[in-house]
Amino acid sequence: MDFSVVSNAEFAETQVVFRDLEGFLAAVERRAFLMARVALGNDNDALDIVQDTMLVMVRKYQNKPSEEWRPLFFRVLQNRIRDLYRYRKVRSRFAGWLGSPFDGEDDSDPFQQVADVPGNNPAVELESRRSMEAVSTAVAALPRRQQQAFMLRCWEGLSTADTATAMGCSEGSVKTHYFRALQALQEALKEHYHG
């Protein structure tokens, strides 16, 4: 993998800029899967979305400057998630016309693919798992635009400008959605986070 390191002042962290698309995709695939899994509640749909996003990156954007790959990738990912939401809505309408129920959603925990990491303190591990489940539930419950802003700003660490590019909106809208998302999460998770 060939990459360089740049600084993200907004989150006081360094980020890697890849010169090779394969390396970039390898670095983001797990996060993209979990984001899609939280948003869609279904691991097969999430995997399809991630692969579809990768296909778009390879076919359309691999010749773009590498510093554009991150906002482009997550914009495509979020658009695919949005498209699947609307696809499910249409299919539900079909199901209503045909008189048969459609249930393409899996209500299980989005973080069930997280392996049980062996440790020395079962009580601590149990609390950690409960906390993670609470986080995933709270994020999944956010209104879609707040969820997008949170995933891109906080989870991925995109700048406000790059998040605006990924969401297709203004920086002001990003700040509003993100602030509201944090307020909602703070309320939903007050038992787990006391800060």
Partner 1 sequence: MDKLEHNLRQQLRAAESQLDDNTARRLRQARSTALASSRRPLLSRLMVPALGMATASVVALVLVLSPGEPGQDILDNASFYQDLDFYNWLAENDATWKS
> Which residues are at the interface with partner 1 (CB under 8 A)?
11, 21-22, 25-26, 29-31, 33-34, 43, 47-48, 50-52, 54-55, 57-59, 62, 83, 86-87, 90-91, 93, 111, 113-115, 117, 131-132, 135, 154-155, 157, 182, 185-186, 189, 193, 195
Report the distance separating Cα 152 and Cα 159, nearest Å: 8
Report the distance separating Cα 69 and Cα 23, nearest Å: 11
Burial bucket for residue 115 (CB in 10 Å: 0-12, 13-18, 19+): exposed
User: Shortest approach of partner 1 to residue 31 CB, angstroms?
Assistant: 5
Structure-block tokens of residue 1 = 């993998």
User: Shortest approach of partner 1 to residue 112 CB, angstroms?
Assistant: 9
User: Shortest approach of partner 1 to residue 16 CB, angstroms?
Assistant: 14
By beta-carbon proximity to partner 1, the closer residue of 91 and 170 is: 91
Structure-block tokens of residue 178 = 């993100």
Instruction: Identify which of 43, 50, 42, 41 has the alpha carbon closest to the alpha carbon of residue 74.
Output: 50
Rg (CA), the chain: 18
Report the distance separating Cα 138 and Cα 181, nearest Å: 10
**HSE of 39, CA atoms in CB hemisphere, 13 A:** 30
User: Shortest approach of partner 1 to residue 117 CB, angstroms?
Assistant: 6
User: Shortest approach of partner 1 to residue 79 CB, angstroms?
Assistant: 12
